[in-house]
Structure 1
């Protein structure tokens, strides 16, 4: 056997390393905003329980705060994740508004019931 056997060249060079620019990192605040917004939506139907209602309300507010902070980071161009920040903001606003509405309705019902029992 001939050890000097070479395969035919087909007119292209072997793969070489090329420069790939580094990807911008995703904002941790945007991820946290999305997760907290989803938690606030999950606890929304379970809001009949006082503890879960409070957890949903607080996580919705924190989701709104984290999304606004992540918008500032994204605007500076340091990180990406605008879609997650928007989703977290929408989920947070929606669940917080519904939690406040549920609280007001339950307060009015309790007030009317107390007034009728007098």
Structure 2
């Protein structure tokens, strides 16, 4: 009989939040932060309990980090665009 190990739920959450942080504008910044926190928590839990899901947690960390960078660039681009286009006239 083969014993199945459980996949860590925080690793699944971190990957989900990471993917959503890339796809959803503005809110994705907060989802990315949640994904990074869940990923770090999952890695700590996996080390203690020997559950599966280390790859999911690592992927979630990478996707969340990429999502945060994309969202920050988008927000900075938005601010830069409107600060230049609404400058003083005349």
Structure 1: state its 5+ residue gaps: 1-19, 44-52
Per the normalisation by structure 2, the TM-score is: 0.87
Q: Which residue of 2 aligns with 1:15?
A: none
State how far apart, in whole Å, the 2-side matches of 1:35 and 1:105 are: 26
Instruction: Say if 2:67 is the partner of 1:95.
Output: yes
Give the 4+ runs in structure 1 shifted more than 4 A.
none
Q: Which residue of 1 aligns with 2:31?
A: 59
Q: Which has the higher helix share?
A: 2
3-state SS in 2 of match to 1:41: helix
Q: Which residue of 1 aligns with 2:53?
A: 81
> Aligned pairs, how many?
90
Of structures 1 and 2, the one scoring higher in RCO (CA 8 A, sep 6+) is 2
